[in-house]
Amino acid sequence: MARFIFITGGVVSSLGKGLASAALGALLQARGFSVRLRKLDPYLNVDPGTMSPFEHGEVFVTDDGAETDLDLGHYERFTGVPARKTDSISSGRIYTNVLERERRGDYLGKTIQVIPHVTNEIKDFIRIGEDEVDFMLCEIGGTVGDIEGLPFFEAIRQFAQDKPRGQCVFMHLTLLPFIKASGELKTKPTQHSVKELRSIGLAPDILVCRSEGPIPVKEREKLALFCNVRPDSVIAAQDLKSIYEAPLAYHREGLDQAVLDAFQITPAPKPQLDRWEDVADRIFHAEGAVKVAIVGKYTQLEDAYKSIAEALTHGGMANRVKVQIEWVDAELFETEDPAPHLEGFHAILVPGGFGERGTEGKIRAAQFARERKVPYLGICLGMQMAVIEAARNVAGLKTAGSEEFDHEAGKKRFEPVVYHLKEWVQGNAKVERKVTDDKGGTMRLGAYDAVLAEGSKVAEIYGATQIDERHRHRYEVDLTYRDQLEAVGLKFTGMSPDGRLPEIVEWEDHPWFIGVQFHPELKSKPFEPHPLFADFIRAAKDVSRLV
Ligand code: GLN
């Protein structure tokens, strides 16, 4: 049966709770344990699928087709354990489940209350798959004191009571602000945060304190005394140059040891940290740098393309180069020539996106990359725009466009080389969708197989002709135009196994121009860079050597 680690946060948000959880997961693996990480989010949205990337960062998609919080991306990147639908839940989903049961009469007419009905629903969720792993790490989103978070805190309190003693450990992440004027690290906000936790019945076993520098002994002792934790369970989380240093840094600080001590696991198995030492070595001993432009819409918030930025970094690690990413607003190219903005980059990436805004700019970026022979990676919408560009500017289909934009505008303006997918096969079941279906949950989501053409560049890059990758989209490139596009050199080198859905296109006679309908970035890891990103950066490195 799994042991449970509950990770909560206090003082302020954005302290890196997800990263601390992910790094701890990696360290427990390094000690030979199996882990699963889960995120419990107090917000009332049913899932993050319809939340704006401006507000919430990217939507991370799992193999089994769940649209989840971007923290699940961190978990996967650090542990390599593919996240599942059952690894992420929100208050909205919990309440929906409870209310649906109430409507079905499952509660036999009882009065429905937060305790026990909502808290039981949360506890049932936490228990899913508890026999499969040694450690289950559950991160509670938000900070202690948030009104939406209370049922979650209450549920984990009860959960620990339900389990035998020593089965659950609580870890609390806070901030130690440094006051310049007095030259002091302040422990008071942490003390208050722990007091708040204790007032709802939770006592942390481990305190992880985010600070700019090391925590002096005096402050450490004070925190231990006032917060009722052992001094060696006060762990400093100092600012790091790279997130991938986190497992080693937390190990040096004694986090994994403190956790094993809290569970009274003795003797603690020795950690095998070579994987993370190699990762750190590749990051800190890069030879040279490449510049990559990401031409997108949500450029104000980098978290909107979190997995892409990470996958590019992994690609850099595979080639021992640093990847300098610049975010370029696609809308700029609707009025301005892209050339002065894009010259000087060694590669161009056009990421996924929804809606028409910025798409003409993305099409121009694809054109620039094709004509100037700059490595181009188009992901999802970025592939669709590359196809439209090819259709308009090379194959002579002057009015080529996507049905997505016509649908938005409510009138027909384009020849839809990208059309709305109404039905497809998943496993052996047929899925049918209408344009007018609900916004949430109407997409081709999760892992689908693709077959790669023998001898194509992608088959060479993957070293395989059968792959599976994660999807999140409603529209597809229309096969009707395949012959016309292939005749001018845009080859359809990846297809769904039934041959109906284009998965990959690539330009022949171009050093590196690939568009993929799926999201390869979601499966890239620092210790296992995704082959497409590794090769994309290799191509960028070749360009950087030429200039
Ligand atoms: N908007 C496009 C579609 O729905 C692309 C989606 C994406 O890039 N993730 O097909």
Mean pLDDT by 10 residues, the chain (547 residues): 95 87 98 97 83 77 91 95 94 93 90 94 96 97 91 96 95 93 90 94 96 90 94 93 95 97 94 96 93 84 86 96 94 92 95 91 96 97 96 93 85 82 68 59 85 96 96 92 95 94 96 97 97 98 85
Beta-bridge partner residues of 376: 348, 513
Any known ligand binding at 353?
yes
Whether 89 is in the pocket of ligand 1, judged by its Cβ within 6 Å, is no
- Please give the Cα distance from 493 to 514 (Å, whole number): 10
Residue 71 assigned to a binding site: yes
Closest CA to 136 of 163, 118, 116, 115: 163
18 among annotated binding-site residues: yes
Q: What's the CA-to-centroid distance between 2 and ligand 1, angstroms?
A: 38
Burial of 432 (0-12, 13-18, 19+ CB in 10 A): exposed
- 138 catalytic residue (yes or no): no
Q: How far apart are the first and last CA of the chain?
A: 58
* CA distance linking residue 461 with residue 212, whole number of Å: 42
Numbered ranges of CATH 3.40.50.880 in the chain: 286-546
Predicted TM-score (pTM) of this structure: 0.92
CATH class in words for 13-167+240-279? alpha beta
Which pLDDT score is estimated for 182?
Answer: 86
Q: What CA–CA distance (Å, rounded) separates 339 from 184?
A: 50
Query: What gap in Å lies between CA 288 and CA 132, rounded to an integer?
Result: 43
pLDDT, residue 12, reads 82
User: Among 468, 471, 474, 475, which residue's Cα sits nearest to residue 494?
Assistant: 468
Q: Using a 6 Å cutoff on CB, does residue 521 contact ligand 1? A: no
- Based on the residue annotation, tell me whether 380 is a catalytic residue of this protein: yes
Phi first, then psi: give them for residue 319, nearest 5 degrees: -110, 5
Q: Choose the residue to mutate in 474, 478, 516, 522 for probing ligand 1, maximizing ligand atoms within 8 Å of C-beta.
A: 474
d(CA 81, CA 527): 13
> Which one is catalytic: 253, 310, 403, 521?
521
Which DSSP state fits 519? -
β-bridge pairing 234-238 and 206-211: parallel
Neighbouring C-beta atoms of residue 409, cutoff 10 Å:
11
Given the CA of residue 404, which atom of ligand 1 is nearest to it? 1
In short, whether 354's Cβ falls inside 6 Å of ligand 1 is yes
Q: What is the pLDDT of residue 20?
A: 96
Which residue lies with its CA nearest to atom 6 of ligand 1?
473
At residue 450, what is the residue type? A
Query: Which residues belong to CATH 3.40.50.300 in the chain?
Result: 13-167+240-279
Could you identify the atom of ligand 1 that is nearest to the CA of residue 418? 10
CB hemisphere CA count around 372 (13 angstroms):
20
pLDDT for the residue numbered 225: 95
Res 371: pLDDT: 96
| Cα within 13 Å of Cα(273), Cβ side | 18
Do the beta carbons of residue 532 and residue 503 sit within 8 Å?
no
How far apart (Å, rounded) are the C-alpha atoms in residues 221 and 223?
5
Rounded CA-CA distance 524/507 in Å is 24
- Per-residue pLDDT, 434: 63
* Ligand 1 close to Cβ of residue 380 (< 6 A): yes
Instruction: Check if 69 has its Cβ closer than 6 Å to any atom of ligand 1.
Output: no
Q: Please tell me whether the peptide bond between 338 and the residue prior to it is cis, using omega within 30 degrees of 0.
A: no
Pairing of strands 466-473, 444-452: antiparallel
Instruction: Give the count of beta carbons closer than 10 Å to the beta carbon of residue 94.
Output: 26
Which candidate, 356, 7, 36, places its Cα nearest to that of 149?
A: 7
Q: Which residues, in sequence order, are bridge partners of residue 208?
A: 173, 235
User: Which of 59, 379, 472, 478, when mutated, tests ligand 1's pocket best, judged by the most ligand atoms within 8 Å of its CB?
Assistant: 472
Residue 446, annotated ligand binder?
Answer: no
Please work out whether the CB of residue 387 comes within 6 Å of at least one atom of ligand 1.
no
Exposure string of 392-405, with b = 16+ CB inside 10 Å and e = fewer, is bbbbebeebbbbbb
Architecture per CATH, 286-546? 3-Layer(aba) Sandwich (3.40)
